[in-house]
Structure 1
Amino acid sequence: MADAETWDLLDEQGAPTGEVHRRGDPGWPPGRFHLMVATCVVRSDGLVLLTRRAATKTFPFLWEIPGGSVLAGETGAQAAVREVREETGLVLDEGALERVGRGVESASFLDVHVATVPGRPRLVLDPAEVDAAAWVTWADVEAHRAAGRMPAPWVGCFAPLWPDLARKVAVAARRT
């Protein structure tokens, strides 16, 4: 695993510990977390971008808001911009990100953002990461979530943030 991702580790309060961990290595330190990000991209007509996970990924063919792990040395905003670009080809400005909040899973924190994009941008999907993408209404996002078509760990992380995310998406849709 020489090319595996390396993550900065955080304590229970989300503060950096100075430790790093390589993805896939055994011996996850107890009481440590790594940071993940997700960015709900809203375009000018109010539609929201969902991506479907590639066949080779965990939770294959499930829909999600673009995101992934924050690499060692990155900020959450830098990772959010990088993940959206890698998965979809969309180039966001860090200043366009509006943080919704932080969810928590067993060994991960998940920072959720909203970003607006003008017009109807062209997507260039990375087939190693994303099988398909769709611009959908917020009601469609809710339907995917309710029907179990999104990865369960992400749904759990998002749960406490969902009402705020829905409000921020609605505001972003009115602004565009």
Structure 2
Amino acid sequence: MEPKPRSQSHSGRWREVNTEDEWWDILDAQGTQTGEILRRGTPSWPPGRFHLIVAVCVRREDGTVLLTQRSADKVEFPFGWEFPGGSAFSGESSRDAAVRELREETGVVVAPSTLTFVGRFAETSALLDFYIAEQQSSVELTLQRSEVMAAEWVEPWEVVRRLEAGLMADPWVARLDSLWAKFPHS
């Protein structure tokens, strides 16, 4: 068996992981780890098994939320709007993955303990954990251009408008249908 790559160095600093070397913990339908791991891109996904993905809605003091637009170079859903997020690496908690993905894609740094859990959404082979991160209105963004081509601060109603206009990345249609009602809009 090939060695499992680490997403965090011994010094505690996160490092970039080559997608070909990205490993995911396998979860059951309740989100419990099965003890199995799977390399990203493995062609046959075990039925009834899931990997963890995370997303973060950053909300500023003025009530606006951060949407990011997927890079034109992305194979799936280029140009679609979404909330920053991605897959949790093997050994990484949901909150730690959310913090890492948010930092990598937008440059926004938050502590895991400051995230507010909104809810979990089950997809065919993934469980999505959705969080809110409260930020000052002066928060600055540094976009990861390989992932994100643009970012906008929008009112919550604009999220719904983009969803209805077909501008959100396709996976967000079902996710927001389920989770947006749980999102505290004030």
TM-score scaled by length of structure 2: 0.86
**CA offsets, 1:13-36, max 9 Å, x none?**
211000011111222111100011
Aligned length: 168
Alpha-carbon spacing, 1:129–1:2, altered in 2? closer, same or farther (3 Å): closer
2:138 partner amino acid: R
2:32 partner amino acid: A
- 1:1-176 residue pairs with structure 2 within 5 A? 3-57=20-74, 58-165=76-183, 168-170=184-186
Secondary structure of 1:40's match?
Answer: strand
Alpha-carbon spacing, 1:89–1:142, altered in 2? closer, same or farther (3 Å): same
2:24 partner amino acid: W
Which whole-Å CA distance do the structure 1 matches of 2:29 and 2:123 have between them? 11
* Contact 1:52–1:62 under 8 Å retained in 2: yes
Alpha-carbon spacing, 1:55–1:113, altered in 2? closer, same or farther (3 Å): same
Which whole-Å CA distance do the structure 2 matches of 1:80 and 1:113 have between them? 8
Identity of aligned residues (%): 49
Which whole-Å CA distance do the structure 1 matches of 2:144 and 2:60 have between them? 20
Unaligned runs of 5+ in 1: 171-176
* Contact 1:44–1:120 under 8 Å retained in 2: no
Give the structure, 1 or 2, with the largest relative contact order (CA under 8 Å, sep 6 or more): 1
The RMSD of aligned alpha carbons is: 1.3
TM-score scaled by length of structure 1: 0.91
Which whole-Å CA distance do the structure 1 matches of 2:154 and 2:101 have between them? 20
* Contact 2:19–2:40 under 8 Å retained in 1: no
